[in-house]
Amino acid sequence: MKFQNSIRIILIVFSLSLSKIQNAQESANLPNFIISPYLNEQIITFYFNDEIRIHINTPSPESFDTNRPVGLVIFALPNGNTIEQTVGKVIKEGTDWHYDIQNIGAQTRFLRKKIKDYNLIVVYLEASSKSWPYWKSHHENYIEIAKSILDYLMDCFEKFNPFIILTGHSGGGRFVFSCLDAYPEIPNNIKRICFLDSDYGYNHSYGDKLINWLNSSEDHFLSVLAYEDSLVLYNGKRIVSDTGGTWFRSRIMQRYFSKYFTFTTLDNVEFIKHFALNNRIEILLKKNPNGEILHTIQVERNGFIHTILSG
């Protein structure tokens, strides 16, 4: 009980502090954020509730342009990973291998050099169970919680005209779909949705929402990465069924979308690539004839960068 109360106190203090951003003068120094030793990035970590930990990484005060909007990248963590492992770090002998399979921190720094029209802020979301599918299945009010997180973050950065980019790897896709469940129509302030081998939960009810959202603005982008996971064997057993993996889900998504959009498809030895709406829709499917496990490699090889810049 003391632990839960302390979290509530921390949240109250954090909420009051972050709200000052909206009232601050034209300063890029964000209240209560600390300066990281890495490129002077401004960072803060806190509990949103008893089961969800959030880490926010913003540009340094020197590179944060208060005249540009803020792009809030909501990155829902993959199953089994912590925030620290997802950010990544330089590997030394004996370092846990999880720190070297995503490196979203390094990919974020690359993106900040490329993106000139908005300030890129990455918000890492970690469930205490380290599984967003598990979290969703154990919270009947998951829609309310997911929406409250997005509303809270938008309110915190309201001063900077924020918009949202929804993304995540692996089981993190379940949180993305939870956010889509929160609205009858996907809000205009969600500008980009990216699935990093994470669209296991796709069905055509989401397809209808995504189609309407893509048609509603030329500023809306959808990027999907998947690989032929149905061919993978681990210890002699398949890791997904014929219909359970991202390969199948991404393909039925594209086929459904093809009823409404005209696609250009490039098919070669390595990939099947689908593009539509002047590349605002991009679905990349990695062939896998050798049955390799490429789940994290897609992110490791700059999948985060690719999906944020697609189109």
CB of 59 within 8 A of CB of 119?
yes
Strand 281-286 versus strand 52-58 pairing type:
unpaired
For the chain, 311 residues long, give each residue's pLDDT as a single digit of tens. 333 333 333 443 344 345 446 444 456 899 999 999 999 999 999 999 999 999 999 999 999 999 999 999 999 999 999 999 999 998 899 998 889 888 999 999 999 999 999 999 999 999 999 999 999 999 999 999 999 999 999 999 999 999 999 999 999 999 999 999 999 999 999 999 999 999 999 999 999 999 999 999 999 999 999 999 988 888 888 888 888 899 999 999 999 999 999 999 999 999 999 999 999 999 999 999 999 988 889 999 999 999 999 99
Structure tokens at 262: 């005209």
pLDDT value of position 18? 52
pLDDT value of position 203? 97
192: three-class secondary structure by DSSP: strand
pTM: predicted TM-score of the whole model, two decimal places: 0.91
pLDDT value of position 16? 34
CB of 76 within 8 A of CB of 132?
yes
pLDDT value of position 186? 98
Q: Considering just the CA atoms, what is the radius of gyration of the chain in Å?
A: 19
Q: HSE of 25 in the Cβ direction (CA atoms, 13 Å)? A: 0
Alpha-helix runs per DSSP H in the chain: 2-23, 83-87, 104-114, 132-137, 142-156, 172-181, 204-216, 246-257, 297-298, 304-309
Give the number of other Cβ atoms within 10 Å of residue 75's Cβ: 30
CB of 136 within 8 A of CB of 142?
yes
pLDDT value of position 17? 41
Closest CA to 205 of 135, 253, 243, 251: 253
Q: Which amino acid is at 69?
A: P
Distance of CA 121 to the CA centre of its chain: 12
CB of 193 within 8 A of CB of 251?
no
> Which sign does the torsion angle of CA 143, 146, 149, 152 carry?
negative
Give dist(CA 182, CA 187) in Å, integer. 10
Q: What is the DSSP string of 250-304?
A: HHHHHHHHTTTSPPEEEE-SSEEEEEETTTTEEEEEE--TT----TTHHIIIIIH
Strand 119-127 versus strand 70-76 pairing type:
parallel
pLDDT value of position 3? 31
Q: Is 82 exposed, middle or buried (0-12, 13-18, 19+ CB in 10 A)?
A: middle
Distance of CA 106 to the CA centre of its chain: 15
For tokens 């109360």, the residue is 5
